[in-house]
Amino acid sequence: MDWQLLITQMLNGLQLGLLLFLVASGLTLIFGIMDFINLSHGSFYMLGAFICSSITAKTGSLFIGIVLAVLVVFCIGALVERLIARKLYQNDHLDHVLVTFGLILVFDTLAHLIWGSQGRIISLPDSLNGQINLGSLVLPSYRLLIIGAGLTVAIGLYFLVTRSRLGMRIRAGASNRQMVSALGVDIDRLYLIVFALGAALAGLAGMLIAPITEASIGMGNEIIIIAFVVVIVGGIGSVKGAFYAALLIGFIDTLGRSYLGDLLALFLSSQNAETAAPALSAMLIYILMAAVLAFRPQGLFPPSNS
Amino acid sequence: MRGEQASSWPSHLLARLKGNLPNQVYFALVIALLIAPWLINALDQSFYLDLLTRALIIAIAVASLNLIIGFGGMVSLGHAAFLGIGAYCVGIPTYYEQFNGFVHLGLAVLCSALFALLTGLICLRTKAVYFIMITLAFAQMLYFTLVSLDEYGADDGLVIYQRSEFPGIFDIENPTTLYYAVLLFLLGCLYLTHRMMHARFGRVLQGCKHNEQRMQALGFLTYKYKLIAYVIAGTMAGVAGFFLGNFTNFISPEMMDWTHSAELIFMLVIGGTGILFGPVVGAVLFLLLEEWLSGFSVYWHLILGLMLIALVVFGKGGVHGLLSLGSNRGSQQNTTT
Amino acid sequence: MACLALAAIEAANKIPPLSMASILQTHDLHKSFGALVATDSVSLTVQTGEVHAIVGPNGAGKTTLLSLLSGSLKPDSGRIEFNGKDVTRTPAHKRVRLGLARSFQITSLILPMTVLENVMLAVQGTTGHSLKFWSPVSKEKDTQTQAMHFLQAVKLQDKSQHLADALSHGEQRQLEIAIALALKPKLLLLDEPMAGMSKEETRKMIDLLRDLKGDITILLVEHDMDAVFALADRTSVLVEGGLIATGTTEEIRSNTEVQQAYLGEA
């Protein structure tokens, strides 16, 4: 057993899981509270990456780039909510699908217009570009930073949702919409904040991954699908569910891709295992989703009603 | 006013199925489609025959989507998967030098029906929001699976060097023959839909769209009816995929990317959901629009996106709704359950 | 009481009941949502042919009880017997086929269909299967005739070609009854048929239900006490999920406990 590889893969899984959580937490709240299907949530992920790359290039500081870009994406999210989404909460889901697909086309093309068809690289400062040696283990420091940042945001979100007044309203909204409006909460403001906050979190995820993968058009349309799976597995409207499901899927996907071949080789001829493994590992998370739906259609951690 | 409109029809459903255009328009449309190859060949504009063939193939897929969205109220965002399945059922046998068209067609029907059945069994256990995401996720699963299959070209897909053979019956290497084969199947699908929607099955299905709880209280196991509709629609789209593979002579996982599923929904809405000929109108308009806009600039998706947003935010009901200035709006608004 | 006990024994032994037969019995039915006990050991008997009313203050669990009976909710414990058969685990759509139909408190029609089409859907459910993909329903004269017959029963025959959407509230409630009747139920569960109606509409509905009396067993959940006194043979009082009294409507009217618990508040 190659321990260096295993630990690296575990960290990759954790990193993917946390990024997925950043995207899925907003998505699940928007579903749960507004009953709105936002296919263009992945666009905020992409915009975050591109905007951050521009600001970082201008200012020379990744830190300033991230802080400013999060604010910009928050504002874009707020604008989308105000101008478009708000008008459609009462409509049927077909309208949500159409309008947010339209938004994807618009954002993708705008990104193409502004940043060109090539991907944009965010270069890391030397301080983050190194490696940390722990005895025989070598870990890239930026990946550790992503994990640290992801965990910090997750903990922050946990306290926001469970401890604050805003969080109380959000939780109430996710489990019982009528009740919140009956309590006299300013529902318009709540919706605006949830939508924009969700956008900013997805944007942050895009910024964090961009130095590794580069910012590219279409990056959002890939992550959004996995984020949907996370939302379904975790239970719609549940931030806690999104957290556990994101980590679970992050690990399964990463470890499946690296170890499924070895595992299958125990049962199949090595040649068959080699052909079957990539296909099967691509299907793993969807099989998990189907299994969850078959046995717990409401998700693993549905928002509680009490 | 709507009551009067209804009383002039023995069945209000019939009125809805027709949309707001008079019968003659549809007759003219069918006649135009029948003589189009003759006209195009006379003018020596084979490019347009290609465009029209493509539009009609897509129209089959949109018509099948109409069955589940327009009549059944099940918004599926994974319908392009069936197109892909049908196309791969041509591509993979051809790769092994099996050119028999009946094998291809049989496989396309079988595989797409099976995929619809297996995913439908799971998807239909859930409601609205979940249904959209799960159909999407299953389609992506298929997409990523094919991407990971190096044997069949992975990302790059496969080239189909030779179209399906139907020896002694017809030769679809001939573009005009292919066109008529597609048109025949499309009209067949539309007629089948027409019959089904006026038969008992269609009434139950349309009841499910508008009020599933009521249908259960009437003693119908709604799950069964929706599943059957889903399998029929999947199979139709699978055959459309069979035609698409033959038409493009090329297959790749990209065919089943979810953005194509979204485009199919867009076409359906342009043509008008729940209207029999809507899919044909929608698909033809969409492909013409695509052709025209992409001639303008590489950024034509921006215009398309803005149009889509405007269509939903400002005007509802699709082209049929716009043409008749809203007299059919009620049918669009009562779709929430 | 003796009569109730006898009915229970009869049902338990699966002996076909003779005279005072019960069509529906529940035994110790429980249902709770989290900490809220919505149905608390309800044992109820509805006798064949009677109109049995269930009254109780808001939030007493009337609609929950009805949902348990119709099968849209599953009880936590307890048993439901319908027509001598244990239906506790029978899914809702199968109970309908056994003859247990319900109407909804919130009008639940298929609005873009015509009045006739709404009733025809119900008739369709009772006459053969619905996996017919080819022959049009409009050619099924028998289905149509039957549907018109039920529309006549609720005096809506003149509006058969109108959209359900275009009816007044009172007419929509009438249509609800026609749909329920078209299911040819042995027992009809009516969930507040008078809800939201004007005085005039209520009187019409009372007349209509009175016409049905005798032909069909009705379990009526109703808020309007005048309607209950006008229609019900027997009445049960539900308070905080539990039955506190069952008796003839006259008895219930004069029962002091009931007056304190419910009527006194009203």
**CATH numbers and ranges of domains, chain B:** 3-332 (1.10.3470)
In a domain, C73, yes or no: yes
* CA dihedral sign, ordered B28, B33, B37, B43: positive
Counting every residue, how long is chain A? Answer: 306
Is any Cβ of chain A less than 8 angstroms from the Cβ of B336?
yes
What's the average model confidence in pLDDT over A215-239? 90
pLDDT at position B272, please?
Answer: 83
Angle in degrees, 0-180, between the axes of helices C141-153 and C115-126, rounded to the nearest 10: 110
- Measured CA to CA, the distance from residue A153 to residue B75 in angstroms comes to 34
- Give A-chain residues touching B137 at CB under 8 angstroms: 225, 228-229, 232, 286, 289
Q: Name the residue in chain B with its Cα closest to that of A222.
A: B140
pLDDT at position C179, please?
Answer: 93
Whether the per-residue pLDDT at C1 is higher than 80: the answer is no
- Give C-chain residues touching A305 at CB under 8 angstroms: 33-34
Q: Give the CATH number, domain containing residue C226.
A: 3.40.50.300
pLDDT at position C261, please?
Answer: 65
- Give C-chain residues touching B3 at CB under 8 angstroms: 161-163, 166
Query: Burial of C50 by CB count in 10 Å (0-12 exposed, 13-18 middle, 19+ buried)?
Result: buried
Q: Name the residue in chain A with its Cα closest to that of C34.
A: A306
Better-predicted residue by pLDDT, C106 or A183: C106
Query: Burial of C233 by CB count in 10 Å (0-12 exposed, 13-18 middle, 19+ buried)?
Result: middle
Min Cα–Cα distance to chain C from A176, Å: 14
pLDDT at position A178, please?
Answer: 65
> How many domains are contained in chain C?
1
Show the tokens assigned to C243. Answer: 């039955």
Q: Among A254-258, B198-202, C48-52, which stretch is predicted with the lowest mean pLDDT?
A: A254-258
Q: Name the residue in chain A with its Cα closest to that of B209.
A: A92
Whether the per-residue pLDDT at C184 is higher than 70: the answer is yes
- Give B-chain residues touching C137 at CB under 8 angstroms: 198-200, 203
Mean pLDDT, consecutive 10-residue stretches, chain B (337 aa), reads 35 58 82 92 89 96 95 93 96 92 96 96 82 89 88 86 86 92 96 93 93 90 95 98 95 91 92 88 92 84 89 68 41 35
CB-based contact B12 C165, cutoff 8 Å: no
CB-based contact B219 C131, cutoff 8 Å: no
Min Cα–Cα distance to chain C from B186, Å: 18
Which residues, including other chains, have CB under 8 Å from residue B328's CB and lie 6 or more apart?
Answer: B16, B19, B20, B317, B320, B321
pLDDT at position C20, please?
Answer: 59
CB-based contact B126 A297, cutoff 8 Å: yes
Residue of B16, B9, B4, B15 lying closest to B335 (CA atoms):
B16
Q: Which residues of B touch C (CB under 8 A)?
A: 2-3, 6-7, 10-14, 16, 192, 195-196, 198-204, 206-207, 210-211, 213-222, 225, 228, 330-331, 334
Q: Which residues of C touch B (CB under 8 A)?
A: 70, 72, 91-94, 96-97, 101-102, 104, 108-114, 117, 120-122, 124-126, 129-138, 161-163, 165-166, 179, 183
CB-based contact A102 B136, cutoff 8 Å: no
Q: What is the mean pLDDT of chain C?
A: 85
- Give C-chain residues touching B192 at CB under 8 angstroms: 133
- Give A-chain residues touching C106 at CB under 8 angstroms: none
In a domain, C255, yes or no: yes
Residue of B231, B222, B313 lying closest to B269 (CA atoms):
B313
pLDDT at position A181, please?
Answer: 65
CB-based contact C130 B200, cutoff 8 Å: yes
Collapsing DSSP states into helix, strand and coil, what is residue B169? Answer: coil
Show the tokens assigned to C140. Answer: 């099924």
Which of A94, A105, A278 has its CB closest to that of B148?
A278
In a domain, C253, yes or no: yes
Q: Name the residue in chain A with its Cα closest to that of B264.
A: A98
DSSP-assigned letter for residue B162: S
CB-based contact B217 C131, cutoff 8 Å: no
- Give C-chain residues touching B16 at CB under 8 angstroms: 112
User: 3-state secondary structure string, chain C?
Assistant: CHHHHHHHHHHHCCCCCCCCCEEEEEEEEEEEECCEEEEEEECCEEECCCEEEEECCCCCCHHHHHHHHHCCCCCCEEEEEECCEECCCCCHHHHHHHCEEECCCCCCCCCCCEHHHHHHHHHHHHCCCCCCCCCEHHHCHHHHHHHHHHHHHCCCHHHCCCEHHHCCHHHHHHHHHHHHHHCCCCEEEEECCCCCCCHHHHHHHHHHHHHHECCEEEEEECCCHHHHHHHCCEEEEEECCEEEEEEEHHHHHHCHHHHHHHHCCC
CB-based contact B201 C72, cutoff 8 Å: no
Q: How many CB pairs under 8 A join B and C?
A: 123
Range of the domain at C217: 4-107+187-263
pLDDT bin (cut points 50, 70, 90) of residue A251 is very high
CB-based contact B3 C162, cutoff 8 Å: yes
Distance between terminal CA atoms of chain A? 47
Is any Cβ of chain B less than 8 angstroms from the Cβ of A97?
yes
Chain A, residues 200-259, CB within 8 A of chain C, namely: none
Min Cα–Cα distance to chain B from C69, Å: 12
Is any Cβ of chain B less than 8 angstroms from the Cβ of A101?
yes
The predicted complex's ipTM stands at: 0.85
Whether the per-residue pLDDT at C59 is higher than 70: the answer is yes
Tens-digit pLDDT profile for residues A284-300: 898 898 888 888 888 88
Q: Using CB atoms, which chains have 3+ pairs under 8 A with B?
A: A, C
Q: Using CB atoms, which chains have 3+ pairs under 8 A with A?
A: B, C
Whether the per-residue pLDDT at C16 is higher than 50: the answer is no
The backbone torsions φ and ψ at residue C21, rounded to the nearest 5 degrees and listed phi first, read -75, 145
Chain B, residues 248-267, CB within 8 A of chain A, namely: 258-259, 262, 265-266
Is any Cβ of chain C less than 8 angstroms from the Cβ of A306?
yes
Give the angle subtended at the CA of B103 by the CAs of B100 and B104, to the nearest 5°: 90
pLDDT at position A180, please?
Answer: 66
Domain A3-305 has CATH 1.10.3470: yes
pLDDT bin (cut points 50, 70, 90) of residue C75 is very high
- Measured CA to CA, the distance from residue C90 to residue C14 in angstroms comes to 18
Which of A103, A225, A289 has its CB closest to that of B258?
A225
CB-based contact A305 C34, cutoff 8 Å: yes
Query: Burial of B2 by CB count in 10 Å (0-12 exposed, 13-18 middle, 19+ buried)?
Result: middle
Whether the per-residue pLDDT at A42 is higher than 60: the answer is yes
The answer to pTM > 0.90 is: no
- Give A-chain residues touching B313 at CB under 8 angstroms: 84, 87-88, 99
pLDDT at position A108, please?
Answer: 93
Which of B137, B266, B304 has its CB closest to that of A228?
B137
Choosing among B141, B256, B298, which should be mutated to test the A contact, i.e. which has the most A CBs within 10 A?
B141
CB-based contact B266 A101, cutoff 8 Å: yes
- Give A-chain residues touching B126 at CB under 8 angstroms: 293, 297
Which of B2, B201, B218 has its CB closest to that of C122?
B218
Q: Which residues of C touch A (CB under 8 A)?
A: 33-35
